[in-house]
Amino acid sequence: MANSASPVVTLPSSTAIPNIHATEIPSIKAFAESTELLAIPSTYNSLTNLHDRQVAEELAAQIPVIDFSHLISDDPELHAKGVQHLARACEDWGFFMVTNHGIPESLMDDVINMSHKFHDMSVEEKAEFADKGVSNPIRFGTSFNAKMEDIHSWRDYLKVIIKYPADFTFPLKPAGFKELAQEYCQVTKAVARKLLEGISESLGLEPNAIAKATDFDAGLQVLIANLYPPCPQPELALGMPPHSDHGLLTLLTQNGIDGLQINHKGKWVKVNPLPKCIIVNTSDQLEVVSNGRYRSILHRATLNNKDTRISLAINNGPQFEKVVGPAEELLKKEEAVFRSMSYKEYFELQQKNRLDGKACLDHVRIN
């Protein structure tokens, strides 16, 4: 994202700040709480030029809103209206807020609170979940992939891989987290499936086309509970650098503290979610299966210096072993712009490297 034409920001002198590498700390939350930091270690200095800090305030109000009750309506007119809105949202933004989704508010609140409680456990209590590589179903860690990074993210994460039909492997503490998460994963998967049906229709395909092409009902979900501690220099660090997600659709909620920004036609736009909505990112596997029609959204997480932010992202993807390429029906009328690759291989390519915009898609793009 560096723009060499933009002025470089100089850090205040911070001789007292240890210059840590994220591989040396289990948790940025614990690190930030252990000392009174007035500045960030320079290894967290992401926003080195002013261009990357600019936000297009005027675009925030244009973020599409999808009324889920229209999509699932028996009234053909209302349903068609929902599909049309979805088509526009996917084509123009790759991002939308879903209202009237039917997920109980109390479940959303409870699972966010539990995610916070998880991160509030001590580093020692969480040690058994420490990230030992992408093939492990439960991973607790900091930044994204510290080993591969020069610049780190001001973020701790818990990632849990869920395969369906569910054998739900999940942290057994805090007590009750597993049960809430299981319920939340099930209801979000059902919403994601309905959205994919509408998206299939919006591409002129039969409603089950994407679910079939990706074996969605047996598909992978990745639950990601992010914690972004208050940061002494939120104008310089990021909670997550610009990236797209690997799956089909990511459904996200947060604890009432904003920070997500999406990239719309080259400009960063702040997301101010409507109360109790579900935020949806279109992700890389949707770009592949739609043969490039619906492009995955580039997004990043920004920080603040007062409040801890929690976000809960549920990544909904194809079945793990499924070889995914553009939907066959689409290829009757157009050339493939992506080659096929198993979702497992794609997932591992994304997770084993550093986060780098949408670079992972280049592995499957046909030039």
Ligand X SMILES: O=C(O)CCC(=O)C(=O)O
- List interacting residues with ligand X (CB under 6 A): 224, 226, 240, 245, 252, 259-260, 299, 301, 311, 313
**Closest separation in Å from C-beta 7 to ligand X:** 28
**Closest separation in Å from C-beta 291 to ligand X:** 24
**Closest separation in Å from C-beta 97 to Fe ion:** 16
As given in the structure block, the two tokens for residue 19 are 């210059």
Q: Which residues fall within 8 angstroms of residue 158, CB to CB, at 6 or more apart?
A: 115, 118, 119, 129, 138, 139, 140, 171, 223, 224, 225
Peptide bond before residue 165 is cis, with ω within 30 degrees of 0: yes
The CB density around residue 332, as the number of other CB atoms within 10 Å, is 7
Based on CB atoms, which residue is closest to ligand X, 197 or 245?
245
C-beta of residue 193 within 8 angstroms of C-beta of residue 247: no
Q: Which of these segments, 44-52, 80-88, 244-252, 340-348, binds Fe ion (CB under 5 A)?
A: 244-252
Q: Which residues fall within 8 angstroms of residue 242, CB to CB, at 6 or more apart?
A: 1, 263, 298, 299, 300, 355, 357
- 322-361 positions binding Fe ion, by CB under 5 A: none
Q: Which of 302, 177, 317 is nearest to 250 (CA)?
A: 317
The CB density around residue 27, as the number of other CB atoms within 10 Å, is 23
What's the start-to-end Cα distance of the chain, in Å?
22
Based on CB atoms, which residue is closest to ligand X, 210 or 312?
312
Based on CB atoms, which residue is closest to ligand X, 66 or 260?
260
Based on CB atoms, which residue is closest to ligand X, 112 or 240?
240
**Closest separation in Å from C-beta 8 to ligand X:** 27
What is residue 196's three-state secondary structure?
Answer: helix
Based on CB atoms, which residue is closest to Fe ion, 197 or 245?
245
**Closest separation in Å from C-beta 226 to ligand X:** 5
Among 156, 215, 245, 284, the residue binding Fe ion under the rule CB under 5 A is 245
Q: Which of these segments, 76-84, 122-130, 173-181, 239-247, binds Fe ion (CB under 5 A)?
A: 239-247
**Closest separation in Å from C-beta 69 to ligand X:** 25
Binding site for Fe ion (CB under 5 A): 245
